[in-house]
Structure 1
Amino acid sequence: MKRVFPALAVTAALFPATAPAQEALSVVTTTGMIADAVRQVGGDMVEVQALMGPGVDPHAYRQTRSDIVATARADLVLWHGLYLEAQMEEFLLELAETNRVMPVAEALPHDALLGSEDYAGQFDPHVWMDPALWAGVVAEVEAALSDAMPDAEDIFTANAAAFVTEIEALASYSETTLDTVPDTARVLITAHDAFSYFGAAYGFEVVGIQGISTESEAGLQRISELVDLIVTREIGAVFVESSVSDRNIRALIEGAAARGHEVVIGGELYSDAMGPAGTYEGTWIGMIDHNVTTIARALGGDAPEGGMQGRLMVN
């Protein structure tokens, strides 16, 4: 059944009046996913810098001196929120007292968000794993850019609409592709619990060795419990993540092997960061296409090797 993209409210922060029109708006973002959304919506009207590149874990990231300078000089700073940038939150909130700063995921409807097992009263921040929710973040990016550069609002609106059309196509591909994974194989075991929105959207049981934050620890008892799960349910593939150590995943594989069950690494997934800069996987569309295609192929589904657009890197 085709998923319906909810009508998500677009709320812009009450920023001070902007300066006269400029050639390009200088935007600094925390994550690469937000930077990609800014590029898609802003086009030639923006210059974007992401503080966190490929393979960087946003849960543990702390601002550097160069980050402080870059954010202070930017026309607009966009961060995710929902306690994703836990180590930077105090800095970003203080920066917002004097600069144009906005957390683009905070305005998503709370009834569409999942709770956090790591932090009481917080939500799971990994909303980019569900295209319908990410479309809501794109709406917030559009609102922030339009507020910062009102003369380009029509351009931002048109670009955002075109990007949402691409997001809907990705959601359709994801649903069709993941539907081919057999019911008995729809268990996704990863290094940390970043895929709950993915699981909710596409009907997968998601098991992370660590919690929502990579700062949480996985003890021997947790590893033992997951080895039991893998052996009992005859799970054939587990997944590493580009921004998280593979140490715990390899412990699962070794534990299962000791009990006579072979489980392999089904592939590397992009969880908290996108792929290499300048590649298809280095865009949000490519990141999700890669994840969907990799998961489907590893768990017995039917997916083209090159993904939705035939652009994925093939090993």
Structure 2
Amino acid sequence: MKKYTYILLVSLIVFNCKDEKKNNNKLNIVTTTSMITDLVKNIAGDHVNLEGLMGSGVDPHLYKASEGDVTKLANADIIFYNGLHLEGKLVEVFEKMRNIKTVALSDALDKKTLIGSEYFASNYDPHIWFNTDYWIQITQYVANTLSDALPEKKEIFQANSTAYITQLKALKANIKSTIATLPEDKRILVTAHDAFNYFGKAYGFKVLGLQGISTATEAGVQDVQKLSAFIIENKIKAIFVESSVPKRTIEALQAAVNSKGNNVAIGGSLYSDALGNAGTIEGTYIGMFQYNVNTIVNALK
């Protein structure tokens, strides 16, 4: 009953808000995750009205739109979202946005290159931002979308995207340089959930997540015991919590390892499904990625 009441509420808000556009001659852009908000900000600057739904520490797997969020979405000219069912609980809302352009960033990518996942309706791992080459492709895709929607600002959007892509290429080089200082046999990343498979594939890490790809799945006792045995066998020095996932599961894993006479440290908190606080280095995509890599490498050395 609650589900149908929620859908009705969404429909009413969309209907009532469809003509309440802002009058400053700027596109109203709404984004879902903080990574996407940061990307659009880098390309569009102050030439659009930009509102992000999810802030620091917010888990997009479990996120459900509030009445205020639905109002923002209903007043948007363009909605940028990740796709691949990352924002699974927003699908019903997007389906009601029939007169609003909704853009899935994953549509910029060749699906044949994605990592498969049986845990998502899309059948793909949605954590695509952890491949810098993907993010470069997505940057151009967003710039082209904005240019089509606002042709008079096309030169600005394209110039900003070119400058940002240059920064992303520099980030990729810095990441490779940092990882090169870590011996290959130490490149095993254990985290709360499998958000880092694209990172692992791109940069040569074996990645294991306690909860699997979606945080909607719970880790059981057998999962903890199995992973603790792997940690002991491979003499892994550190495991990692995530900023958008409760740390209790990783603490349980650490306790399981230590209870067997071994020792594993919690190497730090990584940013997985959300950026850091606004106004900090980690509150940007580039800063978040470099911070994660520095944290991983320093803890595993």
Relative to the length of structure 1, the TM-score reads 0.86
**Identical-residue share of aligned pairs (%):** 45
**How far, CA to CA, are the matches of 2:262 and 2:255 in structure 1?**
9
The answer to whether the 8 Å contact 1:24/1:44 transfers is no
Residue-by-residue CA offset, 1:22-45 (whole Å, 9 max, x unaligned): 653221100111111111111221
Q: Aligned residue for 1:60?
A: 62
Residue-by-residue CA offset, 1:32-65 (whole Å, 9 max, x unaligned): 1111111111122122111000000000101110
Is the aligned partner of 1:39 residue 2:22? Answer: no
The answer to whether the 8 Å contact 2:119/2:214 transfers is yes
Structure 2 residue ranges without an equivalent (≥5): 1-20
Residue-by-residue CA offset, 1:219-243 (whole Å, 9 max, x unaligned): 1111000110111111110000000
**How far, CA to CA, are the matches of 1:266 and 1:42 in structure 2?**
36
Aligned to 2:45, what secondary structure does the other structure show? helix
Q: What are the residue-to-residue correspondences of 1:190-205 with 2, within 5 Å?
A: 190-205=191-206
Q: Hey, which of these two has a bigger chunk of helix by percent?
A: 2
Task: From 88, 91, 95, give the equivalent of 2:90.
Answer: 88
Residue-by-residue CA offset, 1:150-200 (whole Å, 9 max, x unaligned): 111111111001000000000000011112111221100000000000000
Q: Aligned residue for 1:28?
A: 30
Residue-by-residue CA offset, 1:273-303 (whole Å, 9 max, x unaligned): 0000111110111110111111111111xxx
Is the aligned partner of 1:223 residue 2:247? Answer: no
Matched residue count: 280
Q: Aligned residue for 1:233?
A: 234
Q: Summarize the Cα distance change of 1:40–1:242 in structure 2 as closer, same or farther, 3 Å threshold.
A: same
Cα drift, residue 105 of structure 1: 1.6
Is the aligned partner of 1:73 residue 2:97? Answer: no
Q: Which residue identity lines up with residue 47 of structure 2 in the other structure?
A: M
Cα drift, residue 75 of structure 1: 2.2
Q: Aligned residue for 2:7?
A: none
Structure 1 residues 43-52 or 212-221, which shifts more?
A: 43-52
Q: Aligned residue for 1:251?
A: 252
The answer to whether the 8 Å contact 1:82/1:106 transfers is no
**How far, CA to CA, are the matches of 1:119 and 1:38 in structure 2?**
26
**How far, CA to CA, are the matches of 1:221 and 1:195 in structure 2?**
22
The answer to whether the 8 Å contact 2:84/2:120 transfers is no
Q: Summarize the Cα distance change of 1:85–1:101 in structure 2 as closer, same or farther, 3 Å threshold.
A: same
